[in-house]
Amino acid sequence: MRKRRATVRKRPRKSGGIPSWVFVVVAVLSLAGAGIIGWSIFHPKKEKTQPAQTVPKSGGDFLSKIDGAIEQFRVDMGIPKKYVYVRKKEEIPRFPGEKIREVTIRVSKNFPPAFVNYVFQRAIKDSGGTIIDCAEKSSGGKFLIDIGYGEVLTHRVRIIRSSKVPIEPGYVALLVDDFGYYPVKTAKKFFDLRIKFTAAVLPNGKYTSYVLNELDNYPDIERFVHIPMEPKGYPEADPGPNAIMVSYDDRKIRELVERHLSAVPGAVGANNHMGSRATENTRVMYQVLRTIRDAGFFFVDSRTTPYSVAEDIARKIGVPATHIDHIIDPPGISPAEIESRLYEYCLQARRVPAMIINCHASDTVAKILEKNVPILKRYGIEFVPVSMAFERKLKWQRAKRKGG
């Protein structure tokens, strides 16, 4: 098989495609030069060398996986279907009855070359394919990529960056916890992002009253009550004053929840602060959710434990409820990892009706969002409040039930 010689920056190409570390370097140079910081998602983990693939007798399953990876790339990059063209050409040697796919994909020029190239190659490699050869043309305006099973060519892909290709939106709801714990100057950094998001406010935080006063100037920011609940490891892990404890009787639990809900005027929903022990307790969550229902709120489970019973109980007693999809700043990770997770999850947002991403109202997260929100908006990410994300999820679920 004749292989094209790639022309990126006059670097020689070896057969077998471009090693993933080269893309990291290219991404750093390209995105930094453009003032784009979102390349940090594309630091792949070191992988052990895999043994050579054995070509199967039938390639149907493999071809389907590569076709699926190309479709996943289309979805993740927000490419409308009409900008992907597929033709079947000559028969594939060793795969009788199967033909080589020639695929042309047009993608928005809003995405830098390194971003496009890496996301595509990652999708192919994750599906089990091999990048046999890759050539960049027109200063990153076009990529010619040969894909195969081992050295057996199955797909020839041409990716063209164009300013005429629109980006289908991905809907992301940021649920930002712990407002009232951090100083107002930190809270204002989030408010001044000028995007729609949901602020989960601690009812008894040191700065809660000041944050609520400031929030009055930002009517587009949705309010939640961030209800403190007992975690495992208490008292070393302290949820703060007036937390919902599993030792409390039903009446005290309801009284505390009522007090918390009334402490955040204008709130439309609630989620749990900590609560890994409380949300596993059926009796406790019944009382919590019953009170939330009577107040006309909906509930978002922060998923601090995989054994939470919150959504099951909510469904049984008629409380609108959902859960976070991802958290970008769990304890013990670096700012670079937070940034990487932000891009990873936002890139996946077009796979679902809406993505609820959880984080905390810290200086670190504020700086990361200040830097990256404008980039993500250029990439077609639309930031919405949690209530809108919830409605989109419900609408999709209803349509799915109706259709099948």
Q: What share of the chain is helix, strand, coil (3-state, %, to 5)?
A: 40, 25, 35
- Domains delineated in the chain: 8-45+57-162 (3.30.460.10), 170-403 (3.20.20.370)
CA–CA distances in Å: residue 143 to residues 78, 131, 159, 306, 318:
18, 12, 5, 43, 52
Q: Which residue has the higher pLDDT, 32 or 359?
A: 359
**Residue 282 pLDDT > 50, yes or no?**
yes
Q: How many Å apart are CA 360 and CA 338, to the nearest integer?
A: 11
| 284-322 tens-digit pLDDT | 999 999 999 999 999 999 999 999 999 999 999 999 999
For range 1-6, the mean pLDDT: 40
Beta bridge partners of 171: 382
**Residue 183 pLDDT > 90, yes or no?**
yes
**Residue 1 pLDDT > 90, yes or no?**
no
Q: What is the pTM of this model?
A: 0.85
The chain-wide mean pLDDT, for the chain, equals: 88
Check residue 150 and give its pLDDT. 87
For range 61-74, the mean pLDDT: 95
Check residue 4 and give its pLDDT. 41
Q: What angle do CA 134, 51, 158 make, to 5 degrees?
A: 15
CB distance 341 to 157 below 8 Å: no
Q: How many Å apart are CA 97 and CA 6, to the nearest integer?
A: 30
Quote the DSSP letter at residue 78. T
**Strand ranges inside 187-324, DSSP E:** 198-201, 222-229, 269-274, 298-301, 321-323
| 141-168 tens-digit pLDDT | 999 999 999 889 999 999 999 999 999 9
Check residue 140 and give its pLDDT. 86
**Residue 255 pLDDT > 70, yes or no?**
yes
**Residue 40 pLDDT > 70, yes or no?**
no
Q: How many Å apart are CA 277 and CA 181, to the nearest integer?
A: 22
